[in-house]
Chains A and B, each alone.
Chain A
Amino acid sequence: MNTMTVFALAAIATYLLRSLVILAGDRVAQSPALESVIGLVSPAVLAAIVASALLVHGGSVAVPDPAGLAAVLGALVAVRRTGNVAAALFVGLPIYWLGALVGLA
């Protein structure tokens, strides 16, 4: 299999996905139905990625490690309270390190 060919074709396909709505025209892009969905894509993508990172390993559902779970919960609370996304890392990672230190990772 030619690696460059795979990446080139995959890149073209990905670009077509990205540009689909623009190519479809302003009537589609500005439609109220799309507007109501677009605003909800962010929470859906974020929750799916976080849940997948915590609960899916190797394609199967797995019990999350307590330190990782505590870190993510801590990050959620920290950002809720501060409104600063960087707090997720500054709070979450130390929680994980502490959890790992006491054998919860």
Chain B
Amino acid sequence: MVAVDPSVTRTSDPATRRAARDTVPFAIALVPLSLAIGGASAAAGLSAVEAVFGAVALLAGAAQLAALETIRSDGGVVVAVTVVVLVNLRFVFYGAGVARWFVAASRRQRLLLVFPVVDQTFLLCQDRFTTEGDLAWRRRYYLTVTAVLAGTYIAGQVVGFHLGASLPAALGLHLAAPLAFAGMLAKATRSRADLVAALVAAITVVAVSSVVGPVALPLAVVLGAVGAAVSTRKESS
């Protein structure tokens, strides 16, 4: 699974270059989403400062949209924070990823590094760090991915806030994120266990979305990953 041995050899490819190259499709896919969130912030009556603060402090698109929806419907602080926690439950797994990738770093460094971890960072680093990089290489790779994604995300929101983010639907840019994730999925499903995890998660999210709302995504992830891990263990025992 994830290589945690700090003695793993450093690759000849500079971390920053490889990270930038790997991140491009995700950064492109992030543009329409960040424009839309910026537009939603403006529509919810937020000031520019509030919108940027939300983007920087949360660094989580789906959660920010959920919080904006609650703010718009005047649902209360407790409801808004609860919804954000439910939407972001999967971040526990991402934090576990950071803990494993940077096991050679101090705890304080890991607690700093974990702040900006998001879907794309986890997916890219989980893929790369399985076989590559010592601590310094990984840290440069991770921070470059983070910088490109966060820069795109925040800049997109600022532009979306001021423009109202009314992109023509015919461009199909709403599909950019699902397409990038589908591409990553094609690479991430290498074994039978991967396929089981993907299928269980996909079926779960569709089956329970109308019942449990924002909990559907984390629930699907937990059922998919844990279910596949358990079934693999049963087969091998």
Binding site for B on A (CB under 8 A): 1-11, 13-15, 17-23, 26, 29-30, 33-56, 59-61, 67-68, 71-72, 75-80, 83, 85-89, 92-93, 96-97, 100, 105
B194 contacts across to A, CB distance below 8 A: 40, 42-43
User: With A22-B98, A89-B25 in contact, is A17–B85 under 8 Å at CB?
Assistant: yes
Tell me if B60 counts as interface (CB < 8 A to partner A).
yes
Q: Check if A47 sits within 8 Å of B95, measured CB to CB.
A: no
Q: Check if B92 sits within 8 Å of A71, measured CB to CB.
A: no
Binding site for A on B (CB under 8 A): 1-2, 4, 22, 24-26, 28-29, 46, 50, 53-54, 57-60, 63, 67, 70-71, 74-77, 80-81, 84-85, 88-100, 103, 107, 110-111, 114-115, 117, 119, 122-123, 126-127, 170, 172, 175-189, 193-195, 197-206, 209-210, 213, 216-217, 220-221, 223-226, 228-229, 232-233
3 closest Cβ contacts across the A-B interface? A88-B183, A44-B224, A11-B57
Most B-side CB within 10 Å, residue of A60, A96, A97: A96
Main SS of the interface on chain B?
Answer: helix
User: With A44-B228, A80-B186 in contact, is A52–B209 under 8 Å at CB?
Assistant: yes
A14 contacts across to B, CB distance below 8 A: 58-60, 63, 84-85, 88, 91
Assembled-state Cα–Cα distance A6/B76 (Å) = 9
Closest to B46 in A: A3
A2 contacts across to B, CB distance below 8 A: 77
Q: Check if A50 sits within 8 Å of B91, measured CB to CB.
A: no
| Total A-B contacts with CB atoms under 8 angstroms apart | 297
> Pick the contact of A5 from B77, B84, B94, B186 — CB < 8 Å?
B77
Main SS of the interface on chain A?
Answer: helix
Q: What are some 9 contacts across the A-B interface (CB < 8 A)?
A: A10-B80, A13-B81, A18-B92, A36-B232, A40-B197, A44-B223, A79-B183, A89-B25, A89-B28
> Pick the contact of A19 from B67, B111, B187 — CB < 8 Å?
B111
Closest to B62 in A: A49
Most A-side CB within 10 Å, residue of B58, B88, B119, B172: B172
Closest to B99 in A: A29
B172 contacts across to A, CB distance below 8 A: 67-68, 71, 93, 96-97, 100, 105
Closest to A39 in B: B1
Known: A14-B91, A77-B186. 4 other contacts (CB 8 A): A22-B107, A42-B194, A72-B178, A72-B179
